[in-house]
Structure 1
Amino acid sequence: MSDPARPLEGLLVVSIEQAVAAPLCTVRLADAGARVIKVERPEGETARHYDSAVEGMSAYFVWLNRGKESAALDLKTQADLALLHRMVAKADILVHNLAPGAIDRLGLSAQRIAQDHPSLISAGIVGYGQDTDYAAMRAYDMLVQAESGICAVTGTPDTPSKIGVSAADIATGMNAHAAILEALLARGNTGRGSVIEIAMFDGMADWMAVPLLHYEHAGRETGRYGLAHASIYPYRPYACRDGVAIVVSIQQASEWKRFCATVLEKPALAEDARFATNALRVANRAALDAEIEPVFAAVDHEEAIRRLDAAQNAWGRASEVRDLPRHKALRRIDVQLPGGKTVTVPKPSVRAAAFETPPAVPALGADTARIRAEFAA
């Protein structure tokens, strides 16, 4: 009987990967039971060397490479390139996020895949669609955030900002993971694989759909409002008397009425013509803040939360990074490092429970010899 916690067990994934996007995709596949062979340069892939924060290893690498095998290959040599091709011939899934054109030079172009490996699912992660004028552009997370306009709607009115984590890479890895699962379902029906292109820019442009639609259909450019929402109000933090900021989110008319009556203790404010709809509250945010800010400034955060709960209004704390390790909602999994030490990372949201045995992060080339023997000519 198959293990429901390992639905991809028996599948072989070969991944020529580096940094964040492709490794995030393949760690999800490994978590679900697939065998993932990570092909690295002899000196190790990029993310191994970003930092040494976790017992001497890169935090990025520890986060994204549990449960994989590492094969350190020099694909510029004929022997290792031939080995790669033998691995791909037996694989169910190929994932790669190399520089534009590199996969073609390895003899694994879309045309060759379709011709030589018709049942293979090949997922290529690129910066920009290969049918666009940006096809040859190198792409890294912040560059794509900037190009897509994400930075234009993030930050303060005076300062555009990138999202503080690798959002373009993370979105791309998630999109690639979903596309591969869809392709596996399709292959189950047809027996045929597919060649998939996942562009980082496409993912960020999709996230920008609301600002784009506002601009094209309403002639309105979305501004930058820091921790306040651009098109829903009030949806921002308010500082309490004890210095704690509580983020308030009011999205429905009924929520607005309860907020005025119970939290602000100003029931008449709900009927004020300036604030009757969300659109009017957005347009008159400065006047509305003049009503709300003094109320929160006059109470400690516990009282603000008590009122918000009584009104059935949504709220959250504006946490710092130092607050996250102690957050009551944080769930973790154990990961084993080379050498046997165990560390914890956040539990991926797609997993119902922690692993029975902590998955291991591979040392560079830890599995090369065994893989050479397994896939020998």
Structure 2
Amino acid sequence: MVVTTPAATASPHWLTPSTAEHPQRAGTSHAAIAPYGTFVAGDGTEIVLSVQNEREWVSCCRTVLDRPELASDGRFDSGSRRVVNRRVLEEIFADVFSGLTGEQLEQRLTEARIAHARQRDVGEIGVHPQLVARDRLTEVQSPVGPLTAVRPVIGLEGRSSRMDPIPALGEHTDAILEELGYDGPARGRLHAESAV
């Protein structure tokens, strides 16, 4: 016979207490901060932004949205009210942002001192302006030809980062096996058995 206790049947802490439902996926938004997440400018540029305090909210209304009256709107005049009214707030942002280019939106966010960044796909990350400006990109050789690679995050002054060619599949197998103590015949057996 199995005896259950209240502790054994209680919902896990990550479930909503009143309904025991799993939280919904929220993409780049934040459960306790609004506005927070990815917004789209009129030219399709995606910008991730975060307004986390009242100074930022007032500045965002005045400079980014050009709607200073929203700062004192009862639906949005505190962080918790902005979260409760997230959908309406996001509709206002979408409406204003649809009339701006990504560059214009970034200029306004910078002027308002609002944390933001352009959302980029993998291809764009490879040519990110900061990587280029900081000389973080280099070229390495590979079995398929030269490839662009990112230099290590940490470097030592006066020393260049070691960026050896990318080895071909199995190129160093015998050297590693030899280091591990496998002699020629032993390595030959491993190859014959397709173990390496």
TM-score (norm 1): 0.37
Match of 1:300 in 2: 101
Match of 2:28 in 1: 227
| CA distance in 1: counterparts of 2:74 and 2:21, whole angstroms | 23
Q: Please give the per-residue CA displacement for 1:257-301, whole angstroms capped at 9, x wherever unaligned.
A: 100111111112111222122222122111112222111111222
Task: Tell me the CA shift for residue 356 of structure 1.
Answer: 4.1
| CA distance in 2: counterparts of 1:284 and 1:317, whole angstroms | 25
Would you say how many aligned residue pairs link Structure 1 and Structure 2? 160
Change (3 A) 1:236 1:307: same
Change (3 A) 1:373 1:225: closer
Structure number with bigger Rg: 2
CA contact (8 A) 1:224 1:230 kept: no
SS of aligned partner of 1:274:
coil
The answer to whether 1:272 aligns with 2:81 is: no
Change (3 A) 1:215 1:294: same
Q: How does 1:2-81 map to 2 (within 5 A)?
A: none
CA contact (8 A) 1:334 1:359 kept: no
| CA distance in 2: counterparts of 1:356 and 1:293, whole angstroms | 44
SS of aligned partner of 2:106:
helix
Q: Please give the per-residue CA displacement for 1:96-120, whole angstroms capped at 9, x wherever unaligned.
A: xxxxxxxxxxxxxxxxxxxxxxxxx
**Structure 2 spans left out of the alignment, 5+ residues:** 1-11, 184-196
Change (3 A) 1:231 1:333: farther
CA contact (8 A) 1:240 1:246 kept: yes
Q: Please give the per-residue CA displacement for 1:122-167, whole angstroms capped at 9, x wherever unaligned.
A: xxxxxxxxxxxxxxxxxxxxxxxxxxxxxxxxxxxxxxxxxxxxxx
Match of 2:173 in 1: 365
Higher helix share: 1
Report sequence identity in percent: 31
Q: How does 1:185-204 map to 2 (within 5 A)?
A: none
CA contact (8 A) 1:332 1:346 kept: yes
SS of aligned partner of 2:88:
helix
Q: How does 1:197-346 map to 2 (within 5 A)?
A: 215=16, 221-330=22-131, 331-332=136-137, 335=140, 337=142, 343-346=147-150
CA contact (8 A) 1:222 1:230 kept: no
| CA distance in 1: counterparts of 2:161 and 2:88, whole angstroms | 55
SS of aligned partner of 2:81:
helix
| CA distance in 2: counterparts of 1:224 and 1:266, whole angstroms | 30
SS of aligned partner of 1:329:
helix
Task: Tell me the CA shift for residue 226 of structure 1.
Answer: 2.4
| CA distance in 2: counterparts of 1:238 and 1:326, whole angstroms | 22
| CA distance in 2: counterparts of 1:276 and 1:347, whole angstroms | 45
Q: Which amino acid aligns with 1:358?
A: M
CA contact (8 A) 1:336 1:358 kept: no
